[in-house]
Amino acid sequence: MKRQRKRVFGLFGLVLVAVMTFFAAHLPSPGASALSDITDTIIVRVVGDTPDVTINAPVNGAIFLDPEQMIKIYRENVHTVEFKLTYINVDGEEQTDTIAKVFPDYDPGENNVYLNLDDYGGYGNFTLTVIGTGYDGVKDTEIVEFSYEPLTASIVEDEETGLPYIVVDYDENKVSKMVSYVYYNGQIVTPPSPIIINAPDKKALLDLEGKPEGIYTIKTIAYDLDGKKIDRVIINTYERKLTPVPDTGGLFKNLNISREDSLITGAIAFFGFAIMALWIVVKGKRDNRKRR
């Protein structure tokens, strides 16, 4: 009887252990569940990845006529990007400023930084250095050089002749020539080719002879020493006024005689007739004396 009971208890124990083992194998543990939740939000960064920065704008050797520019870069595997600008300050000394420092919140990607060159010495040469620092401290550096030039064009009338001239100014070490195109009512009228303006005079006659009066638009562009067009158009306007033809009436209606010309001509005629009349009077008196 005792042996039978032992067998029953032994069998029951085995069944109980089997049931507990089954549930233990199929129920997730609290630690495993928490770890699963955490791994869903982990961002894995490989420390050994090489950082890379590329300056898309400005391009190396660019010539700017506008002080407001946008620096554009592409970066990858970096956690900080530093922008440095080297220029000649108002005291004539070389100076380097950190103009921006970016901490990207996503990677890879692009960043833009606004730049006003008038805040950094104005006209002259500039060196932009962009430094990208990776997650392990390794740095990647990219450098471009560019310039900001005083390129100008204006319309000036000659003090003596009153004729209009296109007057330009540029750095001869970076600009080869400037070219102007003349428009009237939206149509180009430059005869027969564009007006080319070179050093040393840096001016050219705006020849509108035979053209109607009105507002003319002059668009001037420049070319660098390699013959490439610089990306800017300078626009001026000039109003051509024709000298009015006076209405002298009747016989002289179709003659181009101004009021000043009429006055001068009348004065000359008056003095001419006066001298002739005086001569006739004097001559008449002499003749009378001879007869006596």
The whole-number average pLDDT for the span 194-221 is 92
Q: Which two tokens stand for residue 101?
A: 């420092």
109 — pLDDT class (breaks 50, 70, 90): very high
Confidence band, pLDDT 50/70/90 cuts, at residue 36: very low
- Predicted TM-score (pTM) of this structure: 0.51
Residues 40-53: what's their mean pLDDT?
A: 67
CA atoms within 13 A on the CB side of 215: 6
Kindly state the helix (H) or strand (E) to which residue 287 belongs, with its residue range.
helix 259-291
- Residue 25 vs residue 227, higher pLDDT: 227
Ranked by mean pLDDT, the top range of 95-99, 171-175, 250-254 is: 95-99
DSSP H helix total and E strand total for the chain? 3, 16
pLDDT band at residue 51 under the 50/70/90 scheme: very high
E strand map for the chain: 52-57, 62-64, 68-76, 80-88, 94-102, 109-116, 124-133, 139-148, 152-157, 164-169, 175-184, 187-188, 195-197, 203-205, 214-224, 234-240
Tokens of 200: 């040393």
* Confidence check: pLDDT of 217 > 60: yes
Residue 286 pLDDT = 64
- Is residue 149's pLDDT more than 60? yes
Q: What is the pLDDT of residue 34?
A: 45
Across 127-136, 239-248, 278-287, which has the greatest mean pLDDT? 127-136
User: Length of the chain, please?
Assistant: 292
Separation of alpha carbons 54 and 56, rounded Å: 6
